[in-house]
Structure 1
Amino acid sequence: MEIANFGVEEWLNVWENDAVYDIAGSSIASFTLEELISIDGTNPKEFFDKIFDVKMNYGWIEGSPEFKQQVSKLYKNVPPECILQTNGATGANLLALYSLIEPNDHVIAMHPSYQQLFDIPRSLGAEVSLWEIYEENDWMPDLEELKSMIRPNTKMICLNNANNPTGTVLDDQLLKEIVAIASEVGAYILVDEVYKPLDPNQQVSSIVDLYDKGIATNSLSKTYSVPGVRVGWTASNQEVADIFRKYRDYTMICSGVLDDVIAVHTLKNKEAVLNRNREIVFTNLEILKEWAKHEPRVSLVFPKAVSTSFIHLDIPIDVEDFCIDLLKTKGVLLVPGNRFDVPEHARLGYCTKTETLKKGLAELSSYLRKFD
């Protein structure tokens, strides 16, 4: 099986540990374990005292009943038995694609987007059509283009909502139109939903609540600020969940016992977690907007209260060379846009700690002055 190098992950694997100001990531500032456990007033020592006698066996293979119950509450019509725990959303996406995509299938994938969603289908022998999103249209796609791409053998449409790296959000009206197009040929719609818009005035439904052949993947890594537990999940109808069960046995046995415990605690306190993260998003977004207003070499379509942004850089050099030299001279880490097949851009993770964002943006502006 041939597969392309994973651009974003390959970049971060090489450069992430060299950063002084890491403003490349797409998670909201991660919790410490103490902060997470105590978010509801729980004493961390008492919390861990209670689990000292937990056996370090395989635990619940598909995720504990408590985990499945908590995740099912995130959806309108998905019962716990249709929730399968995975190794992060990357594991969830892999499971869904590995289970359903075969050679000669046709797949339509949003682009730019998370690379798994188009390069895994290619590696499995599918023909992939890229459904572009356009900066001049606020990084939104064109429905007429989707209609022109659909074929009788279109097996799946792959979306990332909200989108990584741009922060674009597909609202319910647009999702329903995509559902109508997919249903004409019975295609699945797989949506990586790890980036939840945190604007309380913006309601975006999960694809599984809009379409019977919708498949949602998600995790605790981005919106919930707990990437360290490596817990994600799939949500689907019963028929699809049963297909996934067979293939899941080949891709993983279970998540860790302690990871499941921490995941349950996080989900039980999701409102407190989201309130904390909403404050970070809106505080830092205002900082980003004010900075961009006064930075002549940067423009961007501002994200819709999600944790990733994609800046357009007015620079006379290759963007990857720019990002490497920026890191080496100023300690500022970005992800160059060519890692998403979009030159002259960079992913800027503005939802890091506020002080890190302020210092990182100041150093980025200082570096950009060399091109004036």
Structure 2
Amino acid sequence: MVKIEDFSVESWMDKYENDAKYNIAETCCASISIDQLRELSEDKQSNSFDTSKPLTYGAIRGSNVLRSNLARLYSAKSTAALPAENILTTPGAIQANYLCAYALVGPGDHVICHYPTYQSLYEVPKQLGAEVDFWRAKPENEWIPDIQDLNGLIKPNTKLIIINNPNNPTGAVLRKSLLTQLVELAAEHDITILGDEVYRPIFHSITPIDPEFPPSLLSMGYKKTIVTGSMSKAYAMAGLRVGWVASRDPEIIEKIAQARHYTTISVSQLDEQIAAFALHQNTVHSLLARNIQLAKTNLQLLERFIIKNDDVCEWVKPLAGTTTFVKFHREGSPVDSVDFCRRLMEKTGVLFVPGSECFGDEFKGYVRIGFVNHTDVIKEGLDKVTQFLRKELDNVQLAS
């Protein structure tokens, strides 16, 4: 029997999110409706989906129009165009990541994973029999891991290096120079790199004119790279359940396509039609502008909250994505993040995610905050947290 560890962050969300009054744990940009999506489009007369089409399985590897729109986005800032056939659609990025591990690693293989990160990125390779080591990022280095540490982790059987860029939960980014070093190191050892880039388009605190702005792995010139993405986080449509895998290596795509046959015949036609509409050049720029502006506005509220409560909390300000990792303490001692989050939920209806429960025992006092929900939810929720800190923090247990 496969040993399946509890997926802590998803279990926590499953338990609490439907009862939260202020969900400040959500990692998606504030979700939009199809009607709102159409309003954002420059072509408001176009149908977002065709209801006259028979509901067959559709295109097995993904609709041509959706994959073409994705290929255009990945090719925009690259010297070489990405062929649409080098993209496979999946039911969300979580399955895209699963399929990459399922197709590429197994017993006897070694995997290195950027850490902290979303649990499935390292747990799935473990379930498949691979040995996994963490490439650790630390707050004292602004949550940026060291390339020499990565070099020291590589073994003769290292098959895959996994990164999450921008990072969940910290909001940090691996910058261009570090990505260049990563690619050079992987190429030297002939190791495939998997980049979970689901938060990639949401750059709220670093701009493309910055010389260290991180490009997509697909534009770094190394063939043995894979990236995954989805409509959930940056594009505010988690309910579509549309994700994708992309690589410049056709052999990698074929391996993943074969693995995909065992899990997914196809992705819903209706979901893919709406995703294609959202990613069309008439719509995607307005959609991303809406979400990036929401991130910028809400990050200002969060920064004011941190400054107001700097006697009991600290952070490394995020550069991108929708999340940040905040450490709460009492007289310098970290709080028990699980007790903190439970009491906060009970007293105020504000939902945070406890870092020590959901990202690793070593993250004592840390909570993950998702700050790109609707602005009124963030503002009112953070006000409730400030009141909680003033009245209830002394009752919160300290981390053991």
Q: TM-score range by the shorter chain?
A: over 0.9
- Alignment RMSD (CA, Å): 1.5
Native 8 Å contact 2:328 2:335 kept in 1: no
Match of 1:267 in 2: 279
Deviations 1:3-31 (A, max 9, x none): 21111111101111110000001111111
Matched AA of 1:10: S
Match of 1:106 in 2: 110
Determine helix, strand or coil for the equivalent of 1:3: coil
Native 8 Å contact 2:335 2:364 kept in 1: no
The answer as to 2:236 corresponding to 1:225 is yes
Q: TM-score, normalised by structure 1?
A: 0.96
Pairwise mapping of residues 32-51 of structure 1 onto structure 2 (< 5 A)?
32-43=33-44, 47=47, 51=50
Give identity over the alignment, percent. 38
Counterpart-to-counterpart distance in 2, 1:324 and 1:33: 34
Counterpart-to-counterpart distance in 2, 1:22 and 1:43: 31
Shift of 1:321: 1.5
Shift of 1:317: 4.3
Aligned match for 2:294, one of 276, 280, 296: 280
The answer as to 2:161 corresponding to 1:150 is no
Determine helix, strand or coil for the equivalent of 1:73: helix
Counterpart-to-counterpart distance in 2, 1:59 and 1:303: 40
Counterpart-to-counterpart distance in 1, 2:241 and 2:173: 24
The verdict on how the C-alpha distance between 1:353 and 1:317 changes in structure 2, with shifts beyond 3 A counting, is: same
Counterpart-to-counterpart distance in 2, 1:212 and 1:43: 39
Native 8 Å contact 2:199 2:320 kept in 1: no
Counterpart-to-counterpart distance in 2, 1:213 and 1:343: 36
Pairwise mapping of residues 38-187 of structure 1 onto structure 2 (< 5 A)?
38-43=39-44, 47=47, 51-76=50-75, 77-187=81-191
Native 8 Å contact 1:153 1:185 kept in 2: no
Counterpart-to-counterpart distance in 2, 1:174 and 1:233: 25
Aligned match for 1:329, one of 347, 361, 369: 347
Deviations 1:182-201 (A, max 9, x none): 11221110010001242433
Match of 1:357 in 2: 378
Native 8 Å contact 1:332 1:364 kept in 2: yes
Aligned match for 1:298, one of 313, 317, 328: 313
Counterpart-to-counterpart distance in 2, 1:364 and 1:100: 44
Counterpart-to-counterpart distance in 2, 1:323 and 1:70: 41
Determine helix, strand or coil for the equivalent of 2:47: helix
The verdict on how the C-alpha distance between 1:200 and 1:271 changes in structure 2, with shifts beyond 3 A counting, is: farther
Native 8 Å contact 2:172 2:320 kept in 1: no
Shift of 1:82: 0.5
Native 8 Å contact 1:335 1:346 kept in 2: yes
Matched AA of 1:331: G
Matched AA of 1:71: L
Match of 1:214 in 2: 225
Native 8 Å contact 1:3 1:122 kept in 2: no
